[in-house]
Amino acid sequence: MKMRELEPRRPGRRRGWFPWAVGTGLWILAPVAVVALLSMRANSLELAPAMPVWVPVEVNAGQVSEPVDVALDWVAVSPVVAPAWNGVVQLVGVRKGAALASGDVVAVVDGVSRVAWASAQPFYRGLSAGDSGTDAAALNLLLAARGLAHDEGDTVNWDSISGIAELAGQLGVRNADEVETFDPAWIVFLPTDGATVSTVDLVPGAPAPAAGTTIAELNDRLSAAHLTQVAPHESSPDEDAPVVHGPPLVANPEQQLTVAAESIALQDDRQTVAVDALPALLALASSGAESVRGQLSRPAAAQEWVVPAAAIVAGGEGRTCVVTGPHPRGVEVHVVGSEPGRAIVTGALSATAVVAVRPEAGLRSC
């Protein structure tokens, strides 16, 4: 019987699956072992207890300031309308976004400059020698304000006539030296002095608009402003909801109001902005804004200290404290002002005291 010869082994079959499986297992288990070892070492470490950071107290040598809101009251302003004009609009003197004040040229119509003027009432009739009344008194005030001849009362006399002729010459009226009657079409009645123009409805080259036609609209006028406490911030206020101001605030006699680094005078009640200061405040506020942020500042007083804001500890019943060292104890203080990262306080401190910044829970006694 003939024996069958064994086939020779093919190269590559000697290793089999076992070495591959061992290598794969080590590749997977090695990171797990490293992590376990690091975890054992971390558990064996003991962290040193947190040490409080002590900061020296400073004597307050600067001003004490607190934020304040200045609530703004606005009133609607009537539009500017054309008087009884005839002719063609040759030039428009008003523009959107600019203030319109008494004496400004609104337009040139038929060669004559038409001037804005804020008075108690619009001029409605021609005025000549012998006329009297409130409009005659207003005309004399207009002439006086422009440095022209005028009467001191409510009558148009020959001094007024001389001033009328001079006014006609300034405005470009033909044969002005012969003019003896004031023409109300020279003057554009201004409902309020210095308001900002929002729209203009005059076009050069167009016929003059009819009497009573709106030629310009004015933004609302700032009528008053008063101090209020800063209202709590709302993360997502309803745009249609009315703005809520904080409670009214009365400034101390030594406090000075500033808005955007500009000094704003207050009335004697120490809560309302002085009437003379409203134009300056208006220049610092957006038209129609409900309020503007300001600062009430006063000189530093005796026994006022500056500490880090993070050193203030809140206690019960609204008290505030700081923790002094080196033997930690709570000292009650009153926060009277603030600046970035720091608080200005009064209390039983001294220039040699130190306070803990973010004291640990065990030291927070107030």
Task: Identify the sign of the CA torsion 328, 330, 334, 335.
Answer: positive
* Best CA proximity match to 199, nearest among 221, 213, 214, 216: 216
State whether 287 and 337 are in the same domain: no
State whether 340 and 355 are in the same domain: yes
343: domain CATH number? 2.40.420
How confident is the model over 243-259, as pLDDT tens digits?
667 899 999 999 999 99
State whether 322 and 262 are in the same domain: no
State whether 227 and 265 are in the same domain: yes
Rg (CA), the chain: 41
Task: Give the end-to-end CA distance of the chain in Å, rounded to a whole number.
Answer: 109
Percent of the chain with pLDDT over 90: 65
What are the Cα distances from residue 222, in Å, to 195, 196, 197, 308?
Answer: 9, 11, 14, 40
The band of 41, judged by pLDDT with boundaries at 50, 70 and 90, is low
State whether 359 and 312 are in the same domain: yes
Number of compact structural domains in the chain: 2
How confident is the model over 351-365, as pLDDT tens digits?
999 999 988 877 777
State whether 343 and 359 are in the same domain: yes
Please identify, among 298, 320, 338, the residue that sits at the C-terminal boundary of a domain. 298
Predicted local distance difference test score (pLDDT) of residue 277:
95
* For helices 134-145 and 158-171, angle between their N-to-C axes, nearest 10 degrees: 60
State whether 286 and 322 are in the same domain: no
Predicted local distance difference test score (pLDDT) of residue 366:
73
Work out the mean pLDDT of the chain and round it to a whole number: 86
How confident is the model over 81-103, as pLDDT tens digits?
999 999 999 999 999 999 999 99
What are the Cα distances from residue 13, in Å, to 4, 8, 18, 25?
Answer: 22, 11, 12, 21
Q: Do 272 and 72 contact (CB within 8 A), yes or no?
A: no
The band of 64, judged by pLDDT with boundaries at 50, 70 and 90, is confident
Range of the domain at 253: 66-75+221-233+244-298
The answer as to whether 48 is a domain residue is no
State whether 291 and 359 are in the same domain: no
State whether 294 and 319 are in the same domain: no
State whether 309 and 349 are in the same domain: yes
Residues 6+ apart with CB under 8 A from 12: none
The answer as to whether 354 is a domain residue is yes
Q: Is pTM, for the whole model, over 0.85? A: no
The answer as to whether 327 is a domain residue is yes
Predicted local distance difference test score (pLDDT) of residue 286:
81
The answer as to whether 110 is a domain residue is no
The answer as to whether 4 is a domain residue is no
State whether 337 and 283 are in the same domain: no
The predicted model gives 49-62 an average pLDDT of 84
State whether 306 and 270 are in the same domain: no
The answer as to whether 71 is a domain residue is yes
The answer as to whether 356 is a domain residue is yes
The predicted model gives 227-244 an average pLDDT of 64
